[in-house]
Amino acid sequence: MQFELTRLPASQEPRGCVVVGVYASHALTPSAKQLDQASGGAITAAAKAGDISGKPGDTLMLRALQGVAAQRVLLVGCGKSGEIDEGAYQRVVAAAAAALGKLHAADAAFYLTELAVAGRDEAWRVRAAVAATSHALYQFTEYKREPGRRHLKTLAIGCRARGGKPLEAALAQGQALAEGVRLARDLGNHPANVCTPGYLADQARGLAKKHGLVVEVLDEAQMGELGMGALLAVSWGSREPAKLIVLKHQGGKAKSAPVVLVGKGVTFDSGGISIKPAATMDEMKFDMCGAASVFGTLKAAALLKLPLNLIGVVPTSENLPDGNAVKPGDIVTTMAGKTVEILNTDAEGRLLLCDALTYCERFKPEVVIDIATLTGACVISLGGHASGLLGNDQKLMDALLDAGRSAHDRAWQLPLWDDYKEQLRSPFADLPNVAGREAGTITAAAFLSAFTDKLRWAHLDIAGTAWKSGKEKSATGRPVGLLLQYLLDRVGA
Ligand code: BES
Ligand code: ZN
Ligand code: MN
């Protein structure tokens, strides 16, 4: 989908459809008012007749209004007039986009950017409108013989501020974000028989070529030489070789310390010998969504030519049962030298991540953020609304929390006190890979914290936010929004 800005009054917009807002009180947004005047009261009449309630997300399509250039007018309910919050804005925009998705028009002009969002300016509203419409119109049809096609190709975003620059930048940021999210969703939605560790490596090579990134893919022999015994153990039961993918965007000064993103890339998590129950096991194809979010963020950063150095590190493997698979009780040696007793082969993400985090030390990073679908416990505690956030650097975590609020891709901090670290005791090795049922998200992070002493580090547990289950089953592309916003905030864009 193409996005552009429009500064035309709504009644003069010649595109196939103009989208304007109606409040629950039948009050009209400025562009709705303008259309109403141009059409001799057609919108007030529709509202008075009760055809549109003004409830958030309610929509009504009108056709061929006198005095209006566009063929169609889409009225969208916006709730109570006055300021709304980020989430309400996104929901109204998504409802409008869903109606646009059914439209037989190639283009439309979108004026819901007029809604007042508390604490946010017009640039924010433009960026969020692009991201939210693109999100709502997303379809994954790669494996459908007869994909239902969308007609809408171009969406013009209505705006007022003159002098262009900040809104042009906001539009570009929204588009880059949409591209990054789309990539992350596509990668997540591919089945695990296609999206293997080798496939992710090929994707990284493709991204590097297309966007001028530097790529390196370490194979199992190279990881063996580095002593990545934990990462490699996850892959023992798999016929697809594990990889460690490194992708670099060098937009900053040569010597400026990079931001490093580490993404869990388990392309299918059966649990291994500690096998998972059958119900919903298909969803474990999404266990590489951390990796996908790293690729998506790198793509967006490259599209925007962000002036900073950014490195993505993706440890990727399958987790399968097999005669060669790692067994409960097996002990392996990590790259850091610590030994780990693998009590549960289903706690494999932390085994990949601990070696990947140690590997990050060589980049002398400014900060390291890992992103992982790490624990079912996180789905229980925060559901699908917030990603879990833990780490050893409060300043970094505050910046991530803030970026999450701004992108409406929120995170919520959990405590990483020493008390939790004491739960990690093994009679045989330096560490066990699990510590009982209590506080599973925190003990998983506590395990990782044993490998991040030399780093300013934060961990995002996206088990609840990376995909949706049930009827709307799909990767969400989270937390690309949060991560890109964090980078934009860092460079002051
Ligand atoms: N990939 C899963 C986490 C997960 C589970 C994400 C359900 C989304 C939904 C992870 O590898 C895992 O299996 N974690 C175990 C850890 C346990 C064995 C300590 C879990 O959460 O059950
Ligand atoms: Zn997993
Ligand atoms: Mn697992």
**Rounded Cα gap, residues 377 and 440, in angstroms:** 6
Tens digits of per-residue pLDDT, 6-31?
999 999 999 999 999 999 989 999 99
CA of 382 to the centre of ligand 1 (A): 14
Contacts of 107 (CB under 8 A, 6+ apart): 15, 16, 17, 152, 153, 154, 155, 156
From first CA to last CA, the distance across the chain in angstroms is: 24
Q: Which ligand has the nearest atom to the CA of 267?
A: 2
* Residue 249 pLDDT grade (very low, low, confident, very high; cuts 50, 70, 90): very high
Nearest CA to ligand 1 atom 16: 347
Residue 16's H or E segment, with its range, is none
- Say how many residues make up the chain: 493
- Asked if the model's pLDDT at residue 161 lies above 80, the reply is no
Between strands 59-63 and 72-77, the pairing is antiparallel
Q: How confident is the model at residue 164 (pLDDT cuts 50, 70, 90)?
A: low
Cα separation, 210 vs 47, in Å, equals: 49
Beta bridge partners of 2: 154
> How far, in Å, is the centroid of ligand 1 from the Cα of 375?
4
Nearest atom in ligand 1 to the alpha carbon of residue 466 is 8
Can you tell me whether residue 422 is helix, strand or coil?
A: coil
The CATH classification number of 181-490 equals 3.40.630.10
Residue whose CA lies nearest to ligand 1 atom number 13: 346
CB 89 within 8 A of CB 128: yes
Q: Give the distance (Å) from ligand 3 centre to CA of residue 269.
A: 5
Q: Which pLDDT value is given to residue 165?
A: 74
For 194-239, the pLDDT digits (tens) are 999 999 999 999 999 999 999 999 999 999 999 999 999 999 999 9
Q: Give the Cα-Cα-Cα angle 310, 312, 314 (nearest 5 degrees).
A: 175
Confidence at 409, pLDDT banded by 50, 70, 90:
very high
Q: What is the per-residue pLDDT for 458?
A: 99
H or E stretch at 278: none
Ligand 1 proximal residues by C-beta, below 6 Å: 269, 287, 344, 346-349, 373-377, 379, 434, 440, 463
Cis status, amide bond into 241, omega within 30 of 0: no
Average pLDDT, whole number, for the chain? Answer: 97
For residues 132-144, average pLDDT: 96
- For the cut 70, the answer to whether the pLDDT of residue 182 exceeds it is yes
Q: CA–CA separation, 292 vs 477, rounded Å? A: 8
pLDDT of res. 147: 85
Q: What is the pLDDT of residues 438-458, one digit of tens each?
A: 999 999 999 999 999 999 999
pLDDT at 493: 84
> What average pLDDT does the segment 148-172 reach?
88
Determine the Cα–Cα distance for residues 64 and 46; give it in Å rounded to an integer: 14
H-state helical runs in 337-437: 349-360, 376-382, 394-406, 418-421
Residue 340 tokens read as 């780990």
346-401: per-residue pLDDT in tens? 999 999 999 999 999 999 999 999 999 999 999 999 999 999 999 999 999 999 99
Whose C-alpha lies nearest to ligand 1, atom 3? Answer: 375
* Cα–Cα distance measured from residue 46 to residue 483, given in angstroms and rounded to the nearest whole number: 42
Q: Which ligand is nearest to the CA of 281?
A: 1
- Within 411-461, residue ranges assigned H as helices are 418-421, 440-449
- Ligand 1 centroid to Cα of residue 256, in Å, is 36
Pure H helices in 27-85: 30-38, 42-48
CA of 142 to the centre of ligand 2 (A): 25
Q: Closest ligand 1 atom, CA of 344?
A: 18
Which helix or strand (DSSP H or E) is residue 259 part of? strand 259-263
H-helix or E-strand containing 492? none
Q: Which atom of ligand 1 is nearest to the CA of 434?
A: 19
Q: In 3-state terms, what secondary structure has residue 405? A: helix
Residue 162's pLDDT is 75
The CA dihedral of 436, 387, 87, 404, to the nearest 10 degrees, is 150
Which residue's C-alpha comes closest to atom 9 of ligand 1? 376
CA 191 vs CA 14, 186, 245, 420: distances in Å:
42, 10, 20, 36
Pairing of strands 107-110, 17-22: parallel
Give the mean model confidence (pLDDT) for residues 75-88. Answer: 94
Which are the contacts of 239, defined by CB distance < 8 A and separation ≥ 6? none
Which of 269, 375, 420 has most ligand 1 atoms within 8 Å of its beta carbon, as the pocket-test mutant?
375
Angle (CA) 126-131-135 rounded to 5° is 145
Catalogue the active-site residues: 276, 350
Which atom of ligand 1 is found nearest the CA of 284?
Answer: 1
Write down the pLDDT at residue 148.
Answer: 82
Atom 22, ligand 1: which residue's CA is nearest?
Answer: 376
Confidence band of 317 (pLDDT split at 50, 70, 90): very high
Query: Which tokens in the block code for residue 14?
Result: 């010649």
Find out whether 345 and 271 touch, Cβ atoms under 8 Å.
yes
From residue 131, how far is each of 22, 125, 136, 289, 356 by CA, in Å? 22, 10, 9, 19, 31
Q: Among 264, 346, 380, 433, say which to mutate for ligand 1: greatest number of ligand atoms within 8 Å of CB.
A: 346
**Residue 431 parent element (H or E):** strand 431-432
How many whole angstroms from its chain centre is CA 131?
11
Determine the 3-state secondary structure of 91 from DSSP.
Answer: helix
Residues 6+ apart with CB under 8 A from 244: 217, 218, 222, 223, 228, 231, 313, 314, 315, 316, 356, 359
Q: State the distance from the centre of ligand 1 to the C-alpha of 346, rounded, in angstroms.
A: 7
CB 442 within 8 A of CB 416: yes
Q: Is the pLDDT of residue 284 over 90?
A: yes
Q: Does the pLDDT at position 420 exceed 80? A: yes
104-110 average pLDDT score: 95
Distance 372 CA to ligand 2 centre (A): 8
Question: Would you identify the CATH topology of the domain 2-159?
Answer: Leucine Aminopeptidase, subunit E; domain 1 (3.40.220)
**In the chain, where are the structural domains located?**
2-159, 181-490
Give the closest residue (by CA) to ligand 1 atom 17: 347
Q: What is the pLDDT of residue 490?
A: 98
Structure tokens at 100: 């646009």
Number of H helices, E strands in the chain: 15, 20
DSSP-derived secondary structure letter, 467: E
